[in-house]
Structure 1
Amino acid sequence: MRIWRAFSIRMSFPKESGRFRLLIVAGTAALLLVLAAVSLCSGSASIPLDEVIRALFSRDQTEKFYQIVQFVRLPRTLAAVLAGGALAVAGAILQAVLGNALASPNIIGVNAGAGLFTILLAAFFPQLIWFTPLAAFLGALAAALLVYLLAQKTGASRMTILLSGIAVSSFLGAITDGVITLVPDTQAGRFAFLIGGFSGVSMDSLKLASLCILIGIGAALLFSYDLNVLTLGEETASTLGMRAGLTRMVFLILAALLAGSAISFAGLLGFVGLIVPHAARFFVGQDHRYLLPLCALLGGAFTLLCDLLARVLFAPFELPVGIVLSFLGAPFFLYLLFKQKRGRLHD
C-alpha cells in the first residue's frame, strides 16, 4: 500500500513540473544530510549524535571522541560526498557530450587515464605527491580526448564510443600494471587505490581536490543550459549560434577535472557515473539544469551509502567501497547494454 501511495504521489507531479523537480532536489539534499550524520556516528565505535556535534565544533583535542570524528570520520564522509558528486556529474556530462547513455568515467577510460598519471607521479616524482590532483586531471583529460578523437575518426556511433573507451581503458590499465610491477615502491598502498575507497583519506589530501570539484560542479551548473542545447545535435546547436565543437571540448575538460580530482583521493571508483545519472533522469528528466544538481547530491548520497554498507555489513572487517560499487554497477551496466541493444535506451 505504501509503495502504491508513493507511486501515485510521483505520478501526480510530472517530470515537466518545476515544483516536482525542486522537491526531488530538496529531498535528496535532506537525505544526504541524514546519511552524513549516520556516517559520522557509525563505525567500529558508535558515537551518539550529540557527541559528534560536540567533537565537530570543539577545539579541545582531549575531548573523548575528537580524534575519531575530526581525523577519521569527517574526512571520510566529506571524501565520499565529494567523490560521489564529482563522478556522477562527470558521468552525466560524458553521456551528453558523447551521446552515449553507457558512457561513464570508468567505462570509457577516464578513470584509467587518471589512475595511470597518478601512478606515474608516485613512481617517478614522489616528491611532487601534492600535485596528484593535477596529474589525475591531466590523465583523465588525455583519456577523454583520445576516446573522443578515436570515435570521431571511426564514426561516432554509440558502440564505437563504447568499444573505443574499453580499448583505451585496457591499454592504459596495462601500462599502469607495468609501472607498478617495474617500480616496486609504488605498490605500497596502490592496491587500495586501484580498487577505490576512503579508508586512508585525510583533510590535507582533500584540500586541492575539493576546490577543483567545487569549481567543476559550479561551472557545470552555470553552463547547464548549453549542455541542453548541445544534446539537440551539432546542426541544431550551430543554428542557435553555439560553437558546438568548442562547447563539447569545454565540457570534456570539466568532466576530466571532476573525475580526475575525485580519483586523486578516492582511487579508481567505478560505476557511480553510470548509475546515478540514470537514476536522476528517472525523476527529473533530461533537463540538465535540474539533472546536474540532482546528480551532485544523489551521487554523494549513493557513494556515502555504499561506504556505510562497506563499513558495517562485515564488521569488524571492512570492504573497500569500490567492491560494493562494482557489485551494484556491473549488473546495471549489463542491463543498460541489453536495453540499448533492444533499441529502447535513452538517446
Structure 2
Amino acid sequence: MKDKRQNRLVLAALAVLTLGAMALSLCVGSQGVALPRLLAALRAGDPADPVRRIVLYVRLPRMAAGLCCGAAMAVAGALLQAVLNNAMASPNVIGVNAGAGFFALLAGVLLPQRAVPGAAFAGALVTALLIYLLALRAGLARTTLVLAGLAVSGILTAGVNTMRLLFPEGVTGADGFLIGGLSGVSLTAVGSALPYLAAGLVLALFLAPELNILALGEQTAASLGLPVGRTRLASILAAALLAGAAVSFAGLISFVGLLVPHIARRLVGVDHRVLLPACALLGAIFLLVCDTAARTLFAPYELPVGILLNVIGGVFFLYLLLGRKRGRVYD
C-alpha cells in the first residue's frame, strides 16, 4: 500500500500534467500557436481572427474529446480488471468497444443522431454482460475471458461490415470510426455523451471501497458481507457507461483501458479510492499526448490516433501475454 502523502503528491502532479497536456493539445498542430498568442486571441474575441477560429472550432473540441475519452477508457479498464480479476481485461480486449461501436452505428442508421450515445452505452453493457456470463459458464479464467471477447468481437465486426455494405450512406465516416480518432469531433457530440460519462465516473468512485474488498478474493469478500454479485454488476454497468460514451464520439479507441491502469498501479498502488482518479488523469494525459503526436509527426498528413494506440497497445499486450519476471500474468 502506497503512502497517503506520496499518493496525494502523485495525484497533484498528474493534475498539473493534465493541464499541460491540454495546453499542448491547443497549441501544437500543423500550425503552432504560442500560448500567450492563443490566450490573447481568446480574450480579444475577434470572430475574424484565424487563431481564435482554429482554437474554438477545431482544437478545443478535439482537446475536450481527448480529455473525456482518455479518462473514461482508463477508468473503464481499471473497473473491468478489478471485477474480472484479469490483468488483460479492457474495453477493447474483451469486446466491449466492439459492442458499443456496433450499436452506435446501428443507431446512426436507424435513429436520430442524439440517440447514438445511449445506443453505444446499451451495446457496451449488453456485450460486457454477455461475455461475463459466457466466461462464467465456461469457467471464469483469464483465457476464457479473452477468447470469449475475441469471439463476440468477431461476430460484432461482421455485423458492422454488413451494415457498411447494406447502408453505405447511413454509415458515412465508418472507416474513421472503426479506427478511432478525434479528428472532426464536435463539442455537441462530446456534450451529448457527458451525462453518461459523469454517471459512470460517479458510480465508479462510489464502488471504489467495495472493489478494495473484492480484491481480497470472492470468498473473503462474501464473508465480510460484501454483495459480490451486485458489486460486479454495478462495476460492469459503470464500465459500460464510460466505454460506451467514449466510443460514441471517438470511435473504437483501443488499449487506453489496458495500458493506463497498469501504469497507475505502479504510481499509486492498488487502493481503488486513489487508483481510479489516477487512472482518469493519466488516461487523459496519455490520449492527449498520443493525439498531439499522431497529428504532428507526419505533418502535413494526419495519422488517426487509433493507429498509434494500436501499435503501443499491441506491444504492451504482448508483454502481458508473455508474463512478467515475477510470475505469469496469463494462464
Percent identical residues: 51
Moved more, 27-36 or 108-117: 27-36
C-alpha distance in 2 between matches for 1:16 and 1:203 = 38
- 1:22 lines up with 2:3 in the alignment: no
Counterpart code for 1:98: L
Do the aligned residues in 2 keep the contact of 1:108 with 1:162 (CA within 8 Å)?
A: yes
Shift of 1:89: 0.2
- 1:45 lines up with 2:31 in the alignment: yes
Do the aligned residues in 1 keep the contact of 2:320 with 2:330 (CA within 8 Å)?
A: no
Do the aligned residues in 2 keep the contact of 1:230 with 1:248 (CA within 8 Å)?
A: no
Could you say which residue in structure 1 is the equivalent of 2:84?
98
Q: How many residues align?
A: 331
- 1:264 lines up with 2:248 in the alignment: yes
Match for 1:32 among 11, 14, 18?
18
Could you say which residue in structure 1 is the equivalent of 2:176?
192
Question: Secondary structure in 1 aligned to 2:133?
Answer: helix
Shift of 1:211: 2.9
Do the aligned residues in 2 keep the contact of 1:89 with 1:295 (CA within 8 Å)?
A: yes
Task: Deviation per CA, 1:14-43: give whole Å up to 9, x if none.
Answer: x52111111111111111111111111111
Change (3 A) 1:187 1:169: same
C-alpha distance in 2 between matches for 1:331 and 1:102 = 13
- 1:339 lines up with 2:320 in the alignment: no
Do the aligned residues in 2 keep the contact of 1:114 with 1:137 (CA within 8 Å)?
A: yes
C-alpha distance in 1 between matches for 2:42 and 2:174 = 31
- 1:89 lines up with 2:75 in the alignment: yes
Could you say which residue in structure 1 is the equivalent of 2:310?
326
Structure 1, unmatched stretches of 5+, are: 1-14
Shift of 1:55: 3.9
Change (3 A) 1:245 1:53: same
Could you say which residue in structure 2 is the equivalent of 1:241?
225
C-alpha distance in 1 between matches for 2:326 and 2:29 = 44
- 1:175 lines up with 2:159 in the alignment: yes
Do the aligned residues in 2 keep the contact of 1:41 with 1:47 (CA within 8 Å)?
A: yes
Shift of 1:325: 0.1
Q: Give the TM-score normalised by structure 1.
A: 0.92
Do the aligned residues in 2 keep the contact of 1:121 with 1:135 (CA within 8 Å)?
A: yes
Do the aligned residues in 1 keep the contact of 2:321 with 2:330 (CA within 8 Å)?
A: no
Shift of 1:342: 8.1
Change (3 A) 1:204 1:342: same
Counterpart code for 1:19: R
Change (3 A) 1:161 1:74: same
Change (3 A) 1:56 1:132: farther
* Aligned pairs for 1:303-318 within 5 A: 303-318=287-302
C-alpha distance in 1 between matches for 2:237 and 2:298 = 39
Do the aligned residues in 2 keep the contact of 1:97 with 1:230 (CA within 8 Å)?
A: yes
Shift of 1:58: 5.2
- 1:61 lines up with 2:47 in the alignment: yes
Q: Give the TM-score normalised by structure 2.
A: 0.96
Structure 2, unmatched stretches of 5+, are: none
Change (3 A) 1:346 1:290: farther
Task: Deviation per CA, 1:147-178: give whole Å up to 9, x if none.
Answer: 00001111101111111111111111111111
Change (3 A) 1:247 1:182: same
Could you say which residue in structure 2 is the equivalent of 1:114?
100
C-alpha distance in 1 between matches for 2:122 and 2:27 = 36
Do the aligned residues in 2 keep the contact of 1:55 with 1:69 (CA within 8 Å)?
A: no
Do the aligned residues in 2 keep the contact of 1:82 with 1:262 (CA within 8 Å)?
A: yes
Match for 1:145 among 116, 120, 129?
129
Question: Secondary structure in 1 aligned to 2:33?
Answer: coil
Task: Deviation per CA, 1:264-290: give whole Å up to 9, x if none.
Answer: 000000000000000111111111111
Do the aligned residues in 1 keep the contact of 2:322 with 2:330 (CA within 8 Å)?
A: no
C-alpha distance in 2 between matches for 1:280 and 1:342 = 19
Question: Secondary structure in 1 aligned to 2:71?
Answer: helix
Counterpart code for 2:283: G
Moved more, 312-321 or 168-177: 168-177
Shift of 1:215: 2.6
Shift of 1:141: 0.3
Question: Secondary structure in 1 aligned to 2:247?
Answer: helix
Question: Secondary structure in 1 aligned to 2:216?
Answer: coil
C-alpha distance in 1 between matches for 2:136 and 2:91 = 18
C-alpha distance in 2 between matches for 1:121 and 1:185 = 13
C-alpha distance in 2 between matches for 1:341 and 1:34 = 34
Do the aligned residues in 1 keep the contact of 2:163 with 2:171 (CA within 8 Å)?
A: no
Change (3 A) 1:55 1:140: farther
Moved more, 174-183 or 143-152: 174-183
C-alpha distance in 1 between matches for 2:25 and 2:169 = 33
